Amino acid sequence: MTSETPATETFAEFCAAWLPRVEAELERLLPPADEAPAELHAAMRHAMFPGGKRLRPMLALLGAQAVAGDPVRALRAAAGLECLHTYSLVHDDLPAMDDDDLRRGRPTCHVVYGEATALLAGDALLTLAFEAAADGGGQAVAVLARAAGSRGMVGGQVEDLAAEGADEAAAGRHTLERLQWIHDHKTGALIAASLLVGAHAATADGESVPAELLGLLRDYGDRLGRAFQIADDCLDLTGSAAELGKNPLADVAAAKLTWPALVGLEASLATARDLAREAGEIAARLGAGVATWRGEPQARLDASVRLLQDCSTFTVERRR
């Protein structure tokens, strides 16, 4: 770790400390709104700014720190993860998909700029994500692409659309197994990849992180992704429009396949908390492994472990 890394105790503090630098990196990465074609660049910026919590970049920086790498070196790749997430929202909102008119409390991209420009703005954001990820080397790009493609996020979106509606529920195709598959692909894959992209980017010029440690980081990310998505499902029932930045009960209205719809709100939250605890245990093993690999005293990694553990708890509790 470097002296440039702000010392933080909790994941919320970590996010607060890094948010200005992530925003500045995104500001640099996206072309100015007056650069030709101005309509396209304005549409990209409409979707990107002002942003939300920038969770995926934060996870990338956390992943860098988890392998005792320098998060500063992962900043550009981290910004790329937000581009990728934002593209998925822009395309999800299109009339041919979810046809949403509200996102983060503002009119969606196609409502303001029209369908063709919104479609192309999404394409450009996805492409920009990989330009940024390339800064973290070929491994970071490969991890990101696998998580985002037809065997990851896009595959999850297809299955999510297919599972929507009362007919699917009536036909007995709303099973926990199917839901888990959708969650793992649609959301979990990119959450786990964010951590790994950060780990690769922070060590791109130096030694590669041992496969065993990358495996632990992925296991942690898998649990985190599941917990995140279950908590997200629950929030649709319990959150206000202001908290959500979109209309509440949208999932219920669309007869979506969700955790609360299958097992109820309390059981869903209990599962999310179990996953968060598992993630915390994996984080402890990861910290010990990294200390051994780096030849550093375990105590040097304690702060990173605590951050990973707090992140998993935060993911569940913040979203109630």
Minimum distance from CB of 207 to a second copy (Å)?
A: 17
Q: Which is nearer to a second copy, 36 or 299 (CB)?
A: 36
Name the residues that contact a second copy, by CB under 8 A.
31, 36-37, 39-41, 44, 87, 91, 94, 96-97, 115-117, 119-124, 126-128, 130-131, 133-139, 141-142, 144-146, 148-151, 154-155, 157-159, 161-162, 204
Q: Which is nearer to a second copy, 7 or 162 (CB)?
A: 162
- Look up residue 182 and give its two tokens: 């959708």
> What angle, rounded to 10 degrees, do the helices at 189-202 and 211-238 form?
140
Q: Judging by beta carbons within 10 Å of its beta carbon (0-12, 13-18, 19+), is residue 227 exposed, middle or buried?
A: buried
Q: What is the rounded CA–CA span in Å between residue 7 and residue 155?
A: 38
- Look up residue 108 and give its two tokens: 């969606």
Minimum distance from CB of 233 to a second copy (Å)?
A: 20
Q: Which is nearer to a second copy, 19 or 111 (CB)?
A: 111
Q: Which is nearer to a second copy, 57 or 136 (CB)?
A: 136
Minimum distance from CB of 236 to a second copy (Å)?
A: 21
Minimum distance from CB of 227 to a second copy (Å)?
A: 24
Minimum distance from CB of 36 to a second copy (Å)?
A: 7
Q: Which is nearer to a second copy, 118 or 286 (CB)?
A: 118
Q: What is the rounded CA–CA span in Å between residue 195 and residue 81?
A: 10
